[in-house]
């Protein structure tokens, strides 16, 4: 049992908060299977927006010195730019909890679930779910809507997902969408 949560979720639990991790140009360019993941992310984001369910965005702001500070590489991927009413948290280290605002926001929310999709599975997503677990927060990683920042040689993504599964639930995008729709009916 996770601190602050229940062993069995309530029957009519609200849809989870959709967390969009690092959907940025520079991360997209480096990610394995980025086009396929972006398609699933886009479908989930549309479902959440159409139903006015909560969405928040994580943006990694760490930048290597050799990048041009005027470059748009850290900007959002087209179609994934946050809309009014969607929260944005910029974080300097891999975990989103490195942003004080994010840590405070999550601490103030009681008994919520977060479903994480996006890029940087092997950095931001993994670090955030591990730290969230230790803070008593509930996460789900959407396995087919996440990508690593490197090629998937030797099952790298599967190994990272297995590690994340020790600290968060793992779910397919279709199952998450079906469950979210069913929870509000």
Model confidence pTM above 0.75: yes
Residue indicated by tokens 């601490």 = 107
Taking the C-alpha atoms of residue 43 and residue 173, their distance in angstroms, rounded to an integer, is 9
Q: What is the pLDDT along the chain (185 residues), one digit of tens a residue?
A: 333 333 334 445 789 999 999 999 888 888 878 889 999 999 999 999 999 999 999 999 876 545 555 556 678 998 999 999 999 999 999 999 999 999 999 999 988 999 999 999 999 999 999 999 999 999 999 999 999 877 776 689 999 999 999 999 999 999 999 998 888 77
Nearest to 59 by CA among 116, 124, 113: 124
Name the residue ranges covered by the structural domains of the chain. Answer: 17-61+73-183
Under CATH, domain 17-61+73-183 is a member of which superfamily? Isochorismatase-like (3.40.50.850)
Q: Which two tokens stand for residue 118?
A: 């996006």
């Amino acid at each position: 049992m996770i601190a602050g949560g229940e062993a069995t979720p309530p029957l009519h639990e609200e849809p989870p908060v959709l967390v969009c991790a690092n959907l940025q140009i520079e991360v997209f360019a480096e990610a394995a299977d980025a086009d396929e993941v972006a398609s699933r992310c886009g479908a989930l984001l549309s479902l959440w927006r159409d139903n006015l369910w909560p969405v928040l965005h994580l943006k990694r702001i760490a930048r290597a010195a050799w990048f041009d500070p005027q470059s748009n590489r850290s900007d959002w991927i087209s179609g994934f730019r946050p809309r009014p009413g969607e929260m944005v948290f910029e974080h300097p280290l891999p975990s989103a909890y490195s942003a004080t605002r994010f840590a405070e926001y999550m601490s103030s929310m009681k008994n919520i679930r977060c479903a994480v999709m996006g890029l940087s599975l092997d950095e931001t997503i993994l670090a955030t779910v591990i730290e969230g677990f230790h803070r008593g927060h509930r996460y789900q990683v959407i396995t087919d809507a996440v990508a690593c920042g490197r090629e998937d040689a030797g099952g790298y993504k599967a190994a990272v997902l297995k590690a994340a599964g020790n600290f968060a639930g793992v779910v397919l995008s279709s199952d998450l969408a079906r469950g979210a729709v069913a929870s509000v009916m």
